[in-house]
């Protein structure tokens, strides 16, 4: 199939998904039971998978259909096949050797094998080296013995594991030749392909309700000395030979590759959720009028309150800035992965550091922004039918899964302090950390100059990183490494976030400078960028004074500048959110439809409450009268 560009993919998906015979008719799921919701979401997830297969979509196209924009329509309560598609399949493609790929991929693509990625355990998620599921090789039987030593080592959380998957890539501690070899991936059948019953030695089930995404179908899994053939260890990187001898991988963290990919995918995807929330809040802020009537006799549109502009407009700018920078990270990931497959792992450490901090920065910014947008819709934003609570539940999950954000930022910080101290291999050309080994950019700060803002963001990142690197270095002289590290944790996290912010604004500056299609678009991108930058300064004024070279007077000027920019952006708010090109059915919000017919929709959705079916519900007689209140 010919590869399509992003907007063509969107048009294509618009018609394919919204008109698909098994997908076009949606049902409200709010009043369904847990089991009914699962059945509804699973059947739609399966239809999507078939569509992906029939269309022969490439990875970029799959990334669009699996994105929250589309999957929020197909599987509104969470996709039970998400981890199959986003983690299990990529793990097989990248970590299985050629023989294994040809052995399994046919069955994966014809739907006989449905998988999950089983890493996290009840007692260990963050500290992967601490996982306790063991895979002990026995050369006599040429099998691994997979075992869960006790309940705290039960796998807990894998998506689709609950009742959907019949296979799992299980991350376990490998023992061979009597030696521990670290965490390795194993392809394990957990349920019978025909009957779907758990196989002998396997205990498996679903973990129960969560804040959101309740049909992701997260599960638990325990092994009681389950025998797995030698050929089921994924062997593209490390190998166990028949006699039990062990061949190391080319990079010690090669088996963590799926996590890097998924972090990049989550960063890209969480911006989709923000775009939907921003569109809802923008449309509602135009429709909603409240307050003392003005000269025209009408109550003001709430968007004309300065405070409302601050709640809504910077997040629209963030949609543009974060979309561009995460799309570039996605492209960079594709490039580095192909180098790694060719045996060159030089770019992997920096990709890991960048993926960690962007996943953390984007999920943190987006979940805070979605909550602000929800609040901007007042009481109606609290209703499920506004869609805003579910968007928040989705974005905030991203702050925890695939590496809890603090922990990921510390991974980035580890890379940055090593770079600042010169104890890491020097960065490659085009690296995102070369600024650390150069003199600070002393472009003077000037309100209204995006270049001056970018330079200031760079000085904050540089100042934060070099300061914490020096503090760490000093503490290392007087205390053990773990204590020195712990003394600096808060500053390390702040340094990594500052680095992430600099990465984002540099990437967007480049996108703006390369944009050549029209002067009007260029000007609009400049305006969005200016809003993003002024807002970034206003959120971290202390940092910009301490490290960025701004004076208190610059800070005051920036506050006024931001409010002026918001007023300038306000007339463009609706075209800018319309440009996300989200049809009403994908937005699925009483508050965010294109025609602005909010109040009729709110009444219409209330009519679905089962408590409105009878004038006096049976529960009144059963509960209140019986208790003789």
Ligand X SMILES: Cc1cc2nc3c(=O)[nH]c(=O)nc-3n(C[C@H](O)[C@H](O)[C@H](O)COP(=O)(O)OP(=O)(O)OC[C@H]3O[C@@H](n4cnc5c(N)ncnc54)[C@H](O)[C@@H]3O)c2cc1C
Ligand Y SMILES: CCCCCCCCCC/C=C\CCCCCCC/C=C/C(=O)SCCNC(=O)CCNC(=O)[C@H](O)C(C)(C)COP(=O)(O)OP(=O)(O)OC[C@H]1O[C@@H](n2cnc3c(N)ncnc32)[C@H](O)[C@@H]1OP(=O)(O)O
For the segment 393-422, give every residue that binds ligand X (CB under 6 A).
Answer: 397, 400-404, 406-407, 410
366 binds ligand Y (CB under 6 A): no
| H or E segment to which residue 180 belongs | strand 179-189
Name the active-site residue from 402, 507, 568, 615: 402
Q: Which stretch binds ligand Y (CB under 6 A): 199-207, 344-352, 496-504, 581-589?
A: 344-352
279 binds, among ligand Y, ligand X, none (CB under 5 to 8 A by kind): none
Q: Which is nearer to ligand X, 265 or 591 (by Cβ)?
A: 265
Among positive and negative, which fits the CA dihedral 488, 494, 500, 503?
negative
Core vs surface per residue 558-568: b (16+ CB within 10 A) or e: beebbeebbee
How many CB atoms are located within 10 Å of the residue 477 CB?
7
| H or E segment to which residue 135 belongs | strand 134-138
Q: Which is nearer to ligand X, 397 or 528 (by Cβ)?
A: 397
90 binds, among ligand X, ligand Y, none (CB under 5 to 8 A by kind): ligand Y
Phi, psi of 33 (to 5 degrees): -75, 170
Q: Exactly one of 137, 256, 320, 435 binds ligand Y (CB under 6 A); which one?
A: 256
| H or E segment to which residue 187 belongs | strand 179-189
How many of the chain's residues bind ligand Y (CB under 6 A)?
38
83 binds ligand X (CB under 6 A): yes
Q: Among 591, 570, 245, which Cα is nearest to 385's?
A: 591
Q: Exactly one of 80, 90, 158, 185 binds ligand X (CB under 6 A); which one?
A: 158
Query: Which tokens go with 363?
Result: 């999920």
For the segment 375-404, give every residue that binds ligand Y (CB under 6 A).
Answer: 401-403
Calculate ∠ Cα 213-159-277, nearest 5°.
30
Cα torsion through 73, 48, 273, 121, rounded to 10: 120
Q: Which is nearer to ligand X, 400 or 546 (by Cβ)?
A: 400
Query: Which tokens go with 144?
Result: 């691994």
213 binds, among ligand Y, ligand X, none (CB under 5 to 8 A by kind): ligand X
- First-to-last C-alpha distance (Å) of the chain: 68
Per-residue contact string for residues 401-440; x = within reach of ligand Y by CB under 6 A: xxx---x---x--xx-------------------------
Q: Tell me how far apart the alpha carbons of residues 323 and 300 are, in angstroms, rounded to a whole number.
A: 32
Contact 23, 74 (CB under 8 A): yes
117 binds ligand X (CB under 6 A): yes
398 in a labelled binding site: no
91 binds, among ligand Y, ligand X, none (CB under 5 to 8 A by kind): none
Q: Among 86, 111, 83, which Cα is nearest to 196's?
A: 111
Q: Which is nearer to ligand X, 117 or 547 (by Cβ)?
A: 117
CA atoms within 13 A on the CB side of 201: 14
Q: Tell me how far apart the alpha carbons of residues 457 and 509 are, in angstroms, rounded to a whole number.
A: 12
Inter-CA distances, 78 with 42, 367, 574, Å: 9, 17, 29
126 binds ligand X (CB under 6 A): yes
Q: How far is the CB of 370 from ligand Y (least distance, A)?
A: 16
90 binds ligand Y (CB under 6 A): yes
Q: Which is nearer to ligand Y, 482 or 618 (by Cβ)?
A: 482
Q: Tell me how far apart the alpha carbons of residues 51 and 570 are, in angstroms, rounded to a whole number.
A: 40
Q: Exactly one of 69, 71, 119, 173 binds ligand X (CB under 6 A); which one?
A: 119
Is 402 one of the annotated active-site residues of the chain?
A: yes
354 in a labelled binding site: no
Q: Among 148, 200, 189, which Cα is nearest to 166's?
A: 189
**Three-state DSSP string of 78-106:** CCCCHHHHHHHHHHHHHHCCHHHHHHHHH
Q: Which stretch binds ligand Y (CB under 6 A): 40-48, 124-132, 383-391, 519-527?
A: 124-132
213 binds ligand X (CB under 6 A): yes
Contact residues for ligand X, defined by CB under 6 A? 83, 117-120, 125-126, 157-159, 213, 216, 218, 397, 400-404, 406-407, 410
> Which residues are part of a known binding site for FAD?
120, 159
Which active-site residues does the annotation give? 402
Contact residues for ligand Y, defined by CB under 6 A? 59, 62-63, 66-67, 82-83, 85-86, 89-90, 117, 119-120, 125-129, 159, 253, 256, 259-260, 262, 265-266, 269, 348-349, 352, 401-403, 407, 411, 414-415
> Which residues are part of a known binding site?
120, 159
């Amino acid at each position: 199939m010919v590869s399509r560009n992003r907007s063509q993919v969107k048009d294509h998906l618009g018609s394919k998904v919204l008109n698909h015979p098994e997908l076009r008719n949606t049902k409200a799921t709010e009043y369904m039971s847990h089991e009914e919701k699962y059945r509804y979401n699973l059947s739609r997830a399966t239809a999507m998978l078939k569509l992906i297969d029939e269309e022969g979509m490439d990875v970029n196209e799959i990334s669009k259909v699996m994105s929250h924009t589309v999957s929020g329509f197909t599987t509104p309560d969470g996709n039970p096949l998400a981890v199959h598609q986003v983690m299990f399949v990529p793990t097989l493609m990248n970590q299985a050797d050629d023989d294994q790929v040809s052995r399994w991929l046919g069955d994966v693509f014809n739907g006989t094998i449905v998988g999950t990625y089983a890493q996290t355990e009840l007692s260990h998620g963050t500290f992967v080296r601490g996982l306790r599921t063991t895979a002990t090789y026995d050369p006599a039987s040429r099998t691994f013995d997979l075992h869960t030593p006790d309940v705290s080592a039960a796998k807990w959380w894998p998506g689709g594991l609950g009742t959907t998957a019949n296979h799992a890539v299980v991350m376990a501690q490998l023992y061979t030749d009597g030696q521990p070899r670290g965490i390795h991936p194993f392809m394990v059948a957990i349920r019978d392909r025909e009957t779907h019953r758990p196989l002998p030695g396997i205990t498996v089930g679903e973990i129960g309700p969560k804040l959101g995404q309740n049909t992701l179908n997260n599960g638990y899994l325990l092994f009681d000395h389950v025998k797995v053939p030698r050929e089921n260890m994924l062997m593209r990187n490390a190998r166990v030979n028949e006699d039990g001898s062990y061949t190391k991988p080319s990079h010690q963290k090669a088996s963590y590759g799926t996590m890097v990919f998924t972090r990049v995918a989550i960063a890209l995807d969480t911006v989709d959720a923000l775009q939907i929330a921003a569109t809802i809040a923008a449309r509602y802020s135009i429709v909603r009028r409240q307050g003392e009537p003005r000269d025209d006799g009408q109550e003001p549109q709430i968007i004309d309150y300065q405070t409302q502009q601050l709640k809504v407009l910077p997040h629209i700018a963030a949609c543009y800035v974060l979309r561009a920078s995460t799309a570039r990270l996605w492209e960079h990931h594709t490039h580095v992965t192909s180098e790694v497959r060719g045996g060159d792992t030089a770019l992997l450490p920096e990709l890991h550091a960048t993926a960690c901090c962007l996943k953390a920065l984007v999920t943190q910014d987006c979940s805070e922004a979605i909550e602000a947008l929800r609040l901007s819709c007042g009481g109606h934003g609290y209703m499920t039918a506004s869609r805003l609570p579910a968007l928040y539940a989705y974005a905030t999950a991203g702050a925890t899964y695939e590496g809890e954000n603090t922990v990921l930022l510390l991974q980035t910080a580890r890379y940055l302090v090593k770079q600042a101290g010169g104890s890491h291999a020097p960065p490659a050309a085009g690296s995102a950390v070369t600024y650390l080994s150069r003199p600070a950019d002393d472009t003077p700060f000037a309100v209204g100059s995006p270049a001056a803002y970018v330079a200031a963001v760079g000085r904050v990142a540089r100042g934060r990183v070099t300061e914490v690197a020096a503090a760490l270095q000093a503490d290392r002289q007087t205390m053990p490494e773990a204590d020195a590290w712990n003394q600096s944790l808060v500053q390390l996290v702040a340094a990594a976030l500052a680095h992430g912010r600099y990465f984002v604004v540099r990437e967007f500056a480049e996108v703006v400078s390369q944009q050549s299609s029209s002067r009007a678009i260029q000007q609009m991108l400049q305006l969005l960028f200016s809003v993003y930058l002024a807002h970034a300064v206003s959120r971290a004024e202390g940092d910009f004074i301490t490290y960025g070279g701004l004076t208190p007077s610059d800070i005051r000027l920036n506050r006024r500048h931001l409010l002026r920019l918001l007023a300038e952006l306000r007339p463009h708010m609706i075209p800018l959110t319309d440009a996300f090109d989200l049809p009403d059915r994908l937005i699925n919000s009483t508050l965010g439809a294109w025609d602005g017919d909010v109040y009729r929709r709110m009444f219409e959705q209330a009519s679905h409450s089962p408590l409105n079916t009878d004038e006096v519900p049976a529960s009144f007689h059963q509960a209140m009268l019986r208790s003789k209140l």
